[in-house]
Amino acid sequence: MPSENKPAINGESFALGSERSVIREIFEYGNARAQLVGRENVYDFSLGNPAVPTPECINDAIKELVGDSSFNVHGYTSAQGALPVRESIADSIRGRFGVAASADNIYVTCGAAASLSVTLNAVCSKGDEVIAFAPFFPEYKVFAEGAGASFVTVLPDTDNFQINFDDLEKKLGAKTRAVIVNSPNNPSGAVLTKNTVLRLCAVLREFCQKTGNTVYLISDEPYRELVYDGKEVLYFPSYYENTIVCYSYSKSLSLAGERIGYIFVNPAVTASRDVYAAVCGAARKLGFVCAPSLMQYAIAKNPNAVSDISVYRQNRDMLYNALCSFGYDCVYPDGAFYLFVRSPIADAKEFCERARALDLLLVPSDSFGCKGFVRISYCVDGKMIERSLPLFKKLIESL
């Protein structure tokens, strides 16, 4: 705290606001750098800001909605989301996954971060522990601690980017309240296999039966639709009763800035109505009145729309093939839009510094709880990837 007198602000909030997230910091650096040397000379692979356009049907729905003077599209909705919107989402879940879902199980949110923060504030109390598997999205820690819980990490499986079950068994304990999974994974691009999913559910179920604890599986699914080569992403509510799905349309519909997603409290969750009530209360406490209304209705008109992800597949193939040919050691990504690359030198941060000197903006993996890698977001213009390839080559040759 820089002030010499008794600080009149919240120290934790100040620290979170001063440090900022590493990813956001690189993104801001990229914006500043672009003003100096021109946007076309900065190769910003830092942020998961979708490059593929939002589907036309969504923009058409927006234009139609604001053009309809008979409908108060900008008014408050119910806090949990307008009923027809929740019905549309529940229908889509039932139709796609065969899981019992009704409007009363859906809470529409301001995107994935809100979904997670609200869910953690709903189920966690002070002293509880929240487990995540490295590598993980670093804001999990912020949200878990914001909810008063301790954040516990399971060591990475750097061979296959599945789950290190030996370490999970060590970390599960009397204080465990929730386990966060994220498949397809940010930052590795890995998709959990059927074997992994079944084993994880069995481990959690056995632990809960043995101890009498309730452990929620929080499935963070912003990348569910972004999966390649026909890989299947299993739906956790079908395999583990106490599952809460945190969804976002940020990536599937390229709506990252609009903040729209939902929480699905599996009706099979123990005391599901109470958990849903706690979700309502947590959202209220944090200051979420309702999700943006225009986006709610636009989504409801197109419940199964997805951006054209073939662009991401092309980007993945171009980047993966080129970087491998230059000698980089890359994790083959089955989903999401991140390439996870082993740093050619021990210190990934230093490697990113050297990349930055060439205006290649990469994210070191340290903040993902897994040292020695870098994350390259390929949700960018393919032409930028093409132009960047000689620099990646130059970079590894310079080491």
| CB 303, min distance to a second copy, A | 18
Size of the site for a second copy (CB under 8 A): 96
- Interacting residues with a second copy between 25 and 44 (CB under 8 A): 27-28, 31
Which window, 137-145, 154-162, 164-172, 346-354, contacts a second copy (CB under 8 A)? 137-145
Residue 211 binding a second copy, by CB under 8 A: no
Q: Mapping DSSP to helix (H, G, I), strand (E, B) and coil, where does residue 106 land?
A: strand
Q: Which is nearer to a second copy, 286 or 389 (CB)?
A: 286
| CB 214, min distance to a second copy, A | 4
Q: Which is nearer to a second copy, 251 or 371 (CB)?
A: 251
| CB 95, min distance to a second copy, A | 25
| CB 162, min distance to a second copy, A | 27
Nearest to 146 by CA among 114, 170, 169, 174: 114
| CB 293, min distance to a second copy, A | 3
| Cα 200 to the center of its chain, rounded Å | 20
| CB 141, min distance to a second copy, A | 11
- Whether 337 contacts 319, CB under 8 Å: no
Which window, 138-146, 219-227, 354-362, 390-398, contacts a second copy (CB under 8 A)? 138-146
Q: Give residues with Cβ within 8 angstroms of 368, minimum separation 6.
A: 134, 135, 136, 137, 138, 187, 375
Eight-class DSSP state of 82: -
| CB 375, min distance to a second copy, A | 16
Which window, 46-54, 196-204, 233-241, 354-362, contacts a second copy (CB under 8 A)? 46-54
Angle subtended by helix axes 293-300 and 56-67, to nearest 10: 120
Run of H or E residues at 356: helix 348-357
Q: Which is nearer to a second copy, 161 or 216 (CB)?
A: 216
- Whether 143 contacts 116, CB under 8 Å: yes
| CB 140, min distance to a second copy, A | 11
Give the Cα separation of 296 and 293 in Å (integer). Answer: 5
Give the Cα separation of 170 and 397 in Å (integer). Answer: 42
Candidate residues 57, 202, 271, 391; the one interacting with a second copy per rule CB under 8 A? 271
Give the Cα separation of 126 and 116 in Å (integer). Answer: 17
Site string for a second copy, 334-363 (x = CB under 8 A): ------------------------------
Candidate residues 254, 302, 365, 388; the one interacting with a second copy per rule CB under 8 A? 254
Candidate residues 40, 206, 232, 274; the one interacting with a second copy per rule CB under 8 A? 274
Site string for a second copy, 276-295 (x = CB under 8 A): xxxxxxxxxxxxxxxxxxxx
- Interacting residues with a second copy between 162 and 191 (CB under 8 A): 177
The residue type at 322: A
The residue type at 257: G
Residue 102 binding a second copy, by CB under 8 A: no
Q: Where are the beta strands (DSSP E) in the chain?
A: 43-44, 106-109, 129-133, 150-154, 176-181, 216-220, 243-248, 261-265, 329-331, 338-342, 360-361, 363-364, 373-377
| CB 340, min distance to a second copy, A | 21
| CB 36, min distance to a second copy, A | 15
Which window, 193-201, 256-264, 315-323, 332-340, contacts a second copy (CB under 8 A)? 256-264
Residue 309 binding a second copy, by CB under 8 A: no
Residue 220 binding a second copy, by CB under 8 A: no
Cα-based distances in Å from 253 to 59, 258, 303? 11, 10, 10
Biggest alpha carbon–alpha carbon distance for the chain: 64
Nearest to 263 by CA among 107, 43, 48, 388: 107
- Interacting residues with a second copy between 50 and 79 (CB under 8 A): 50, 53-54, 59, 62-63, 66-67, 69, 72-79
Q: Mapping DSSP to helix (H, G, I), strand (E, B) and coil, where does residue 152 land?
A: strand
